[in-house]
Amino acid sequence: MKQPLLAIISLLLSTVAWAELPLNVENLISDKGKFKLELSSSYSNRSSRQASSGSYVYLQTSNASFVAVPQVFGENRTNVDTVVGTMGLRYGLTRNADIYTRFSYLNQSSRSIDIDGGISKNQESYFADAWLGVNYELVKEGSKPALLGFAEVALREKHQHNSAALKSAMLGLTTYKAIDPVVFSLTTAYQMGKSRNDGDFSYKPGNLWFVSPSVSFAVNDRVTLTTGMQWATRQPGAWDGMTRGYRTTTTDLALGVVYGIEKGESLNFLIKSNLSGDEGADLYLNWIQTF
C-alpha cells in the first residue's frame, strides 16, 4: 500500500505539501527532522461572454489551496490563460506534526473584445502569495479512519493594487480509510479573510467552504488512479463595505493519476472540470521529493 497511499496523499491534504498523504499508514506526518520539497504548476483557461464584475476568480493550486486572480472591469468577451507555479517545503516537527510553507508565482494572459469590436490584450506576471501552515495527526488509521487537521495563514497576498499580510487563514480536516487496493478519502476546509486596503478602497474577500471526497485505486505498486468531486461555496467580496455579487456554489469533477518514481519521489497529474457552469477546466502537475 505504500504507493497507493502516496497517491492519495498527493491529491489530498492541501497546500503543496499538505495535499500529500504519507508513503505508508505508519507515516501520516513527515518524519521528525525530515524535509519534503514540492514543485507544482497549475493551468487554467476561462472564457466569458458577460461583463466582468471586477471581482476575483480563485484558481486552485492543490486540493485545498487557492490563488486569487484579479478580473478586469467592463469586458464583454474575454478569454484568459493563467499559469501558477508553486514551490512548497515541509518539515517534520514531531511524530504527529509537521510545518509547511509555500510560495506561488502567477502569469496571466488575457484577450478581450468590447461591444464595438475593439480588441485588447494584456499579460502580467507577479509573485502571488505565500502561506505558512501546520498539519497534525489527530487519529491514526486502524479500526477507525485516519484523521488529520491542518491550519494555515497567508504571509502575503497580492491584490489588484496592493499586497496584504496576515489577513487570510484556512482551517481544515482530512480523513481517509485504506481497504487495499482502494483508499476512500474526504477533505473539507473553511477559508476566511479580513478586510485589507487595495488601492483607494478597502477589500474583503468572500469566505470559502468546500467538501472534496475522493476514491483512489492502486493499479500496481507504482501507478494509482484517483477520481473525486468537489463542492464549494463562496460568499461575495466587499469593497468599502459594499457587497458586490452574490453567493456562488460550484461542483467540479476531478480525475488524476499518480506515478511513484521511487521511494520518497512521485509525480502527480490532476484535471478538474466544472460540472455546474462554464468555468472551464484546470490542470495540475505536482512533483514531490523527500530528503
C-alpha 185/C-alpha 176 separation (Å) is: 4
The per-residue pLDDT for range 80-103, each reduced to its tens digit, is 899 999 999 999 999 899 999 999
**Strand 201-204 versus strand 119-139 pairing type:** unpaired
How high is the pLDDT of residue 30?
79
- The x, y and z cell numbers of residue 79, run together, are 478569454
The per-residue pLDDT for range 279-290, each reduced to its tens digit, is 678 899 999 888
Cβ-contact 52, 72 below 8 angstroms: yes
Residue pointed to by grid coordinates 458586490: 244
Closest CA to 83 of 64, 109, 65, 103: 109
Closest CA to 22 of 260, 269, 219: 260
Distance of CA 288 to the CA centre of its chain: 16
Cβ-contact 78, 70 below 8 angstroms: no
C-alpha 90/C-alpha 100 separation (Å) is: 4
C-alpha 25/C-alpha 232 separation (Å) is: 29
SS3 call for 195: coil
The per-residue pLDDT for range 134-145, each reduced to its tens digit, is 999 999 888 899
Q: Span 3-13, mean pLDDT?
A: 42
Distances (CA, A) of 41 to 38, 105, 118, 125, 250: 10, 10, 33, 14, 22
Higher pLDDT, 199 or 208: 208
- The x, y and z cell numbers of residue 7, run together, are 497517491
Helix-strand-coil split of the chain, %, nearest 5: 5, 65, 30
If one counts every other C-beta atom within 10 angstroms of the C-beta of residue 199, the result is 11
pTM given for the model: 0.80
- The x, y and z cell numbers of residue 269, run together, are 497529474
Which range has the worst mean pLDDT, 4-18, 177-191, 234-248? 4-18
- Provide the pLDDT confidence category of residue 5 given band limits of 50, 70 and 90: very low
Candidate ranges 152-156, 236-240, 281-285; pick with highest mean pLDDT:
152-156
